[in-house]
Structure 1
Amino acid sequence: MQFERRSFLKLLPALPGLTYLSEPETGKSPARISMRFIVASDGHYGQPDTDFKTFHSDLISWVNKEKLQKGVDFLFFNGDLIHDDPTLLYDFKSTLGNLRVPYYVSRGNHDKVGLDVWQSTWGYSTNHSFSKGEYAFVVGDTSNEKGEYVCPDVNWLRTEIAKYSDKKGIFVFLHITPAKWTVHGIECKEVIDLFEKTPNVKAIFNGHDHDQDSTKMYGKKPYFFDGHFGGNWGTAYKGYRIVEIYEDSTWQSYQYNPTAAPVLNTYSGKS
């Protein structure tokens, strides 16, 4: 079931004590938000001839403001944290010291860091998962230390998704989209088929394609893109994607431009 007019309410100012932003059904109380998270990708910390420090300070400021005004449970960085040089990873992590929300990361093709360094830096592997309440979040690796494009490990995904079969919903993060529907996507049919046949996989989040900020459908599953907040190409604005899960088991995602016409490409679903 879809609620197509919720997005305009995101433009309302935050009010003290107001914990919901969804449009109520006629004659019913509005649904309260039970979880709210942000997905941002492709910051490319350290990329030459870009203002990468400003890009990151802007994102941190925007997210911290979101936390104060509407609440944010966590931020997910969906790949290309740094730009090619593995020694940048420490500086990137240090930059996040001003962030006031928990965060998680995935490896992108420009994150040319070995598995041991990745593990020691973040405390988890490039393939990892976590859960929060009734929802699970599965993170698949789509690159390697050389920066090659690779399909995520479908056997690992299958095992990991099975672990969360009792969850109300699973959200998947992959830096590179597993379908060749963008210039920089790759074809990973086994992976897409796994998602399609798993009822509680609710959505897949992709980065990598800086010029994509919309929703693409494969069967019944939405694949979300979030543009970019750094780098030297892509959408005309720097932004990120927001996901709101409601207590009535509905949820929605929309792209957010913090500087103008903020709410874009809203999608609503039921978990």
Structure 2
Amino acid sequence: MRNVLRISPFLLVLIAPLLLSCDDLFQYNPNQLVFGHDERDINFHNIEKILELPEQDTLKFILMGDTQRWYDETEDFVKSANNQPGVSFVIHAGDISDFGLTAEFKWVHEIMTRLKYPYVTAMGNHDKIANGLAAYRKMYGPPDYSFEFSGHKFIFVNTNSREYAFDGTVPDVNWLRGQVADNPGNKDAIVIAHIPPYAADFDPNLEQTYAKILGDDPNVKMSLYGHNHSFSDGEYYNDGVHYFVTTTVGARGYMLVTVWKGGYDVQRVEF
């Protein structure tokens, strides 16, 4: 006689929701590329929000970065940033994630949506590892992009050379040269990336070319970075371009940047 498993109707009602949702329970992978509508092309959509803001003679924004696994500290950053008056937007200088996992990008983005301001990102070296590049492209868009606002041109470039085995393709200096040159209005240009050109993870064969592109253009006066996990700044190539590096969110710091035609002011903030 065959044994038959009998399930009471009451028990079936209890377990039915679990059976119907078993895909979520058993097939989820923190690296899978599944994004909601509001988790795609974030840079593009936030640039649209920035461009809807009124133009200003003096523009203020925040430079922060390296959120990685510092979720509590990122929460505290948002609270501090929201208390800064007159800020138009936030720049995340890269290393959104630590392991390039889709789940990490989602967790950080969920926190960053609590900002009162739109935010845009540079891609970090940790954002490239594992499946990170594909996740970053879907969630934020291309690593190299630019936009213009309030008399300034913001140029974001992928400088994570080590993750490309120093093969001469990253940073894309030809793209960067074209972006700097394509400035008929002579707007002040600000170049933003994760790894500064004098760091060990930047392709040493491209360092001087990169610096010369910036230094030869009179519209480039400053360039902004993360990666080094500490505050620093200096004019490293004696060419009039000032390089600023922000510390990590984990170290509870960021930079408050104010720019106007021909000038700027950068303050270190600890929270």
What is the total number of aligned residue pairs between the two structures? 208
Partner residue in 1 for 2:90: 75
Instruction: Report the counterpart of residue 164 of structure 1 in structure 2.
Output: 183
- 1:263: which partner in 2? none
**TM-score (normalised: structure 2):** 0.69
**For 1:86, which of 94, 101, 116 is the aligned residue?**
101
Counterpart secondary structure, 2:81: helix
Are the structure 2 counterparts of residues 132 and 157 from structure 1 closer, same or farther at C-alpha, using a change threshold of 3 Å?
same
Structure with the higher fraction of residues in helix conformation: 2
Percent identity reads 25
Q: Answer yes or no: is 1:110 the counterpart of 2:129.
A: no
**Structure 2 counterparts to residues 1-271 of structure 1, below 5 A:** 34-44=58-68, 46=69, 52-66=70-84, 70-87=85-102, 88-112=104-128, 113-122=131-140, 124-143=141-160, 146=163, 151-180=170-199, 186-187=203-204, 188-218=207-237, 219-230=239-250, 237-246=251-260, 249-259=261-271
1:87-129 Cα offsets, whole Å, 9 max, x none, are 211222122121110110011111134544323212x310011
Structure 1 residues 145 and 118: CA distance shift in structure 2, 3 A: farther
Contact 1:174 1:207 in 2 (8 A): yes
In structure 1, runs of 5+ residues without a counterpart are: 1-31, 47-51, 231-236, 260-271
Over 3 Å counting, the alpha-carbon distance change for 1:62 and 1:186 in structure 2 is farther
CA positional deviation for 1:255: 3.3
CA contact (8 A) 2:231 2:245 kept: yes
CA contact (8 A) 1:78 1:207 kept: yes
Cα separation, 2, equivalents of 1:255 and 1:137? 19
Q: Identify the structure with the greater strand proportion.
A: 1
TM-score by length of 1: 0.69
User: 1:196 and 1:169 mapped to 2: Cα distance?
Assistant: 13
Between the aligned partners of 2:228 and 2:88, the Cα distance in structure 1 is 25
Structure 2 runs not aligned, ≥5 long: 1-55
Which amino acid in 2 is paired with 1:131?
A: E
> Using the alignment, how far apart are the partners of 1:143 and 1:185 within structure 2?
6
